Amino acid sequence: MHTETHADSARYVAGLAKLREIDGDAGEQVIEALKDIAPDLARYVIEFPFGDIYQRPGLDLRLREVATVAALTAMGHAQPQLKVHIHGALNVGCTRTEIVELIMQMAVYAGFPAALNGMFAAKEVFRERDGRGTPE
Amino acid sequence: MHTETHADSARYVAGLAKLREIDGDAGEQVIEALKDIAPDLARYVIEFPFGDIYQRPGLDLRLREVATVAALTAMGHAQPQLKVHIHGALNVGCTRTEIVELIMQMAVYAGFPAALNGMFAAKEVFRERDGRGTPE
Amino acid sequence: MHTETHADSARYVAGLAKLREIDGDAGEQVIEALKDIAPDLARYVIEFPFGDIYQRPGLDLRLREVATVAALTAMGHAQPQLKVHIHGALNVGCTRTEIVELIMQMAVYAGFPAALNGMFAAKEVFRERDGRGTPE
Amino acid sequence: MHTETHADSARYVAGLAKLREIDGDAGEQVIEALKDIAPDLARYVIEFPFGDIYQRPGLDLRLREVATVAALTAMGHAQPQLKVHIHGALNVGCTRTEIVELIMQMAVYAGFPAALNGMFAAKEVFRERDGRGTPE
Amino acid sequence: MHTETHADSARYVAGLAKLREIDGDAGEQVIEALKDIAPDLARYVIEFPFGDIYQRPGLDLRLREVATVAALTAMGHAQPQLKVHIHGALNVGCTRTEIVELIMQMAVYAGFPAALNGMFAAKEVFRERDGRGTPE
Amino acid sequence: MHTETHADSARYVAGLAKLREIDGDAGEQVIEALKDIAPDLARYVIEFPFGDIYQRPGLDLRLREVATVAALTAMGHAQPQLKVHIHGALNVGCTRTEIVELIMQMAVYAGFPAALNGMFAAKEVFRERDGRGTPE
Question: What confidence tens digit (pLDDT) does each residue in C37-75 have?
Answer: 999 999 999 999 999 999 999 999 999 999 999 999 999
Rounded CA separation A15/A50 (Å): 4
pLDDT top residue among C24 and B98 = B98
pLDDT tops 50 at residue C26: yes
Amino acid D126: pLDDT: 97
Nearest alpha carbon to residue E52 among D101, F106, C17, C19: D101
Rounded CA separation E77/F117 (Å): 9
Task: Work out the minimum CA distance from D1 to partner chain B, whole angstroms.
Answer: 5
CB-side exposure of C17: number of CA atoms within 13 Å?
Answer: 8
Of the pLDDT bands very low, low, confident and very high (cuts 50, 70, 90), residue C133 is: confident
| Model pTM score | 0.95
pLDDT tops 80 at residue B32: yes
Average pLDDT over residues F100-128: 98
Rounded CA separation C25/D82 (Å): 28
Residues (pLDDT < 70) of chain A are 1-8
Question: What confidence tens digit (pLDDT) does each residue in B63-107 have?
Answer: 999 999 999 999 999 999 999 999 999 999 999 999 999 999 999
Nearest 5°: CA angle at E8, between C47 and C52? 30
Alpha helices in chain F (DSSP H): 6-34, 39-45, 61-75, 79-91, 96-110, 112-131
Amino acid A8: pLDDT: 61
The verdict on a CB contact (< 8 Å) between A112 and D49 is: yes
Share of chain C above pLDDT 70, in %: 93
Average pLDDT over residues C96-102: 98
pLDDT top residue among F51 and D135 = F51
Of the pLDDT bands very low, low, confident and very high (cuts 50, 70, 90), residue B136 is: confident
The verdict on a CB contact (< 8 Å) between E59 and D97 is: yes
Which of D1, D8, D40 lies closest to B7 in CB terms? Answer: D8
Chain C: residue whose CA lies nearest to E52: C2
The verdict on a CB contact (< 8 Å) between E110 and A108 is: no
Average pLDDT over residues E49-59: 97
Task: Say which DSSP state E57 is in.
Answer: S
Which of C49, C102, C109 lies closest to F59 in CB terms? Answer: C102
Question: What confidence tens digit (pLDDT) does each residue in E24-40 have?
Answer: 888 889 999 999 999 99
Whether F115 has its CB under 8 Å from any CB of chain D: the answer is no
pLDDT tops 90 at residue B25: no
Which of A77, A113, A122 lies closest to D81 in CB terms? Answer: A113
**What subunits make at least 3 CB pairs under 8 angstroms with E?**
A, B, C, D, F
Question: What confidence tens digit (pLDDT) does each residue in D84-98 have?
Answer: 999 999 999 999 999
pLDDT tops 80 at residue C84: yes
pLDDT top residue among F110 and E9 = F110
Task: Work out the minimum CA distance from B91 to partner chain F, whole angstroms.
Answer: 19
Rounded CA separation C105/C119 (Å): 11
The verdict on a CB contact (< 8 Å) between C44 and D107 is: yes
Amino acid B20: pLDDT: 95
pLDDT tops 50 at residue B49: yes
> What is the gyration radius of the CA atoms in chain D, in angstroms?
16
Average pLDDT over residues F35-46: 97
Element counts in chain A: helices (H) and strands (E): 6, 0
Chain E hits for D113, Cβ within 8 Å: none
C-beta of residue E68 within 8 angstroms of C-beta of residue E110: no
Task: Work out the minimum CA distance from E98 to partner chain A, whole angstroms.
Answer: 20
Q: What is the largest CA-CA distance in chain A?
A: 48
From residue D19, alpha-carbon distances to D6, D22, D34 in Å are 20, 5, 15
Amino acid E1: pLDDT: 40
Say whether F116 sits in a helix, a strand or coil: helix
Rounded CA separation A29/A25 (Å): 6
Its sign, for the CA torsion D14, D16, D19, D21, is negative
The verdict on a CB contact (< 8 Å) between C77 and D107 is: no
DSSP string, C38-83: -HHHHHHHIIIIITTGGG-SSS-HHHHHHHHHHHHHHH-S-HHHHH
Rounded CA separation E58/A85 (Å): 45
The verdict on a CB contact (< 8 Å) between D113 and C77 is: yes
Rounded CA separation F84/B38 (Å): 38
| Average pLDDT in chain E | 93
